[in-house]
Amino acid sequence: MLPTVWDTWSAGVAVEVGFEGLTIGSHPVADAIGSSDGENMDFADYLDKIKRITSSVEVPVSADVESGYGLQPAELIERLLEAGVVGANIEDVVHSEGKRVRDRQEHADYIAAARAAADEAGVDFVINGRTDAVKLGTDVFEDPLAEAQERIRLMESAGARSVYPVGLVTADQVSQLVGAVSVPVNVTAHPADGHGAGDLAALTQLGARRVTFGPLWQMWLAELSVGQLGKWIA
């Protein structure tokens, strides 16, 4: 379980609760600074936010870097290591190129190059290979779940230490993709409502070995705040 954080405050809260690892989400970070997700943040500014978080805690931290912000894999890994992270989400939708979806092999090749760069640096870096195939649905793929299955297999072969097929909402979907690879499958859950397949225990039973919140923790806090703060308006 890696709670998704967006600043030093949220990171501190998560560590205080007892979580032994964190992941930084580009979506909640962008929302927190008045930007928007989809590689719209200045990458140097984002790296500064990442470094502030990694410097504030003593647990391993991963970071979402979308499709790589237009960087070559080796440079991406170098800059992430300088920022103090030990892992990264790398997705197959290239937002900076009109939300172009990398083909299967192109994305696997990008991950393989990132894996090689991390290995050359001597760091046990966890690449969490993400695919949006299920999320994009039948508007893009004839069989989104089958496409996601092929993509996560290729990403595992390319050196991803975990895979992240976003958009899974049922137990059957989780079970099918967990069975397709040997590395951990990342599932997004809501901190209060859990996942469509159930709570953490249910996800664990299905074989999901990595659970994150995406932007949902931040969104949930906002919803709670609106409900409570509204009571103070005369």
Please give the mean pLDDT across all residues of the chain: 97
**pLDDT given for residue 175 in this prediction:** 98
Q: Residue 228 is part of a domain; what is its CATH number?
A: 3.20.20.60
Say yes or no to pLDDT of 234 above 90: no
**pLDDT given for residue 136 in this prediction:** 98
What does the block give as tokens for 4?
Answer: 């998704």
pLDDT band at 66 (very low <50, low <70, confident <90, very high): very high
Within 13 Å and on the Cβ side, how many CA atoms surround 127? 31
Per-residue pLDDT of 80-131, as tens digits, reads: 999 999 999 999 999 989 999 999 999 999 999 999 999 999 999 999 999 9
Q: How many domains does the chain have?
A: 1
Neighbours of 18 (CB within 10 A): 6
Per-residue pLDDT of 15-59, as tens digits, reads: 999 999 999 999 999 999 999 889 999 999 999 999 999 999 999
**pLDDT given for residue 88 in this prediction:** 99
In terms of Cβ atoms closer than 10 Å to its own Cβ (0-12, 13-18, 19+), residue 20 is exposed
- The percentage of residues in the chain with a pLDDT greater than 90, rounded to a whole number, is 98
**pLDDT given for residue 144 in this prediction:** 98
pTM attached to this predicted model: 0.95
The 3-state secondary structure of the chain reads: CECEECCHHHHHHHHHHCCCCEEECHHHHHHHCCCCCCCCCCHHHHHHHHHHHHHHCCCCEEEECCCCCCCCHHHHHHHHHHCCCCEEEECCEEHHHCCEECCHHHHHHHHHHHHHHHHHCCCCCEEEEEECHHHHHHHCCCCHHHHHHHHHHHHHHHCCCEEEECCCCCHHHHHHHHCCCCCCEEEECECCCEECCECHHHHHHHCCCEEECCCHHHHHHHHHHHHHHHHHCC
Q: Domain range for residue 54?
A: 4-232
**pLDDT given for residue 129 in this prediction:** 99
Distance (Å, rounded) from C-alpha 232 to C-alpha 192? Answer: 25
